[in-house]
Amino acid sequence: MWVFFGSLFLLTTGTFSVEGEISFMRHGIPPARESDETRASSPEWGTITQRVDHFNPADNRTWDMRYIQNNEFYEEGGPMFVFIGGEWGISTGWATSGFFLDIARSHNGAFFYTEHRFYGDSYPIYNWEVDGFRYLSADQALADLVYFIEYQKQNTPGLRNSTVSEEQKYQSNYIPTVE
């Protein structure tokens, strides 16, 4: 009976770790550690200019969203795999090894890892008053992803006709759709 209640407590409290080796997060996937066991070359870091408020045409403020790109296995016509960062700063771990990169490799896809607004070094505003957090919403974050995907398809050689893989549904609480 205590095992049941202990398990229930673990599932409802969020994060659990033992000596930094085992980690469970209720929301999203934790950032991958840097590893000596890489399966890809060094990825490229980039930024893309995003609107602070995608839904207010009168607001012209912008900010730089960070992302990591690895096209080592990409072949023209292959899909885009967008690994959507969550409640952490991004690092090269997922872009050089791991399950998500393996999926991109097996489909000859381009791999992108985006940093969520207000996490890591991607801040649309530095106003920590309650009013500033109106820009931390699922709608704004999804609009960031739609713009990111459209921008990459237009500006990355060979991606213009690529699809965005449905594999990304396993990677985040958000699932962007670009039609």
Q: Residues 164, 109: contact at Cβ < 8 Å?
A: no
Q: Residues 91, 98: contact at Cβ < 8 Å?
A: no
Indicate if 81 and 152 belong to the same structural domain.
yes
Indicate if 130 and 87 belong to the same structural domain.
yes
One-letter amino acid for residue 149 of the chain: I
Q: Is residue 175 part of a domain?
A: no
Q: Is residue 153 part of a domain?
A: yes
- Tell me the per-residue pLDDT of 52-103, one tens digit each, with 9 for 90 and over: 999 999 999 999 999 999 988 899 889 999 988 888 899 888 788 888 888 8
- Tell me the per-residue pLDDT of 86-95, one tens digit each, with 9 for 90 and over: 888 998 887 8
Indicate if 105 and 24 belong to the same structural domain.
no
Indicate if 46 and 9 belong to the same structural domain.
no
Q: Is residue 42 part of a domain?
A: yes
Q: What is the pLDDT of residue 55?
A: 97
Q: Is residue 176 part of a domain?
A: no
Indicate if 20 and 75 belong to the same structural domain.
no
Q: How far apart are CA 63 and CA 141, in angstroms?
A: 13
Q: Is residue 143 part of a domain?
A: yes
Q: Residues 119, 87: contact at Cβ < 8 Å?
A: yes
91: left (phi over 0), alpha (psi -120 to 50) or beta: beta
Indicate if 13 and 100 belong to the same structural domain.
no
Q: What is the pLDDT of residue 14?
A: 34
Indicate if 3 and 85 belong to the same structural domain.
no
Q: What is the pLDDT of residue 107?
A: 92
Indicate if 51 and 131 belong to the same structural domain.
yes
Q: Is residue 177 part of a domain?
A: no
Indicate if 25 and 57 belong to the same structural domain.
no
pTM check: above 0.85: no
Q: What is the pLDDT of residue 92?
A: 84
pLDDT at residue 8 greater than cutoff 60: no
Q: What is the pLDDT of residue 42?
A: 74
Indicate if 71 and 154 belong to the same structural domain.
yes
pLDDT at residue 15 greater than cutoff 50: no
The 8-class DSSP code of residue 123 comes to -
The 8-class DSSP code of residue 134 comes to G
Q: Residues 92, 43: contact at Cβ < 8 Å?
A: yes
Q: What is the pLDDT of residue 168?
A: 45
Indicate if 36 and 26 belong to the same structural domain.
no
One-letter amino acid for residue 151 of the chain: Y
| 65 vs 171, residue with greater confidence | 65
Q: Is residue 60 part of a domain?
A: yes
CATH at residue 62: 3.40.50.1820
Indicate if 13 and 72 belong to the same structural domain.
no
- Tell me the per-residue pLDDT of 120-165, one tens digit each, with 9 for 90 and over: 999 898 877 888 888 999 999 999 999 999 999 999 888 988 887 6
Q: What is the pLDDT of residue 19?
A: 38
**Domain span at residue 147?**
32-170
pLDDT at residue 28 greater than cutoff 80: no
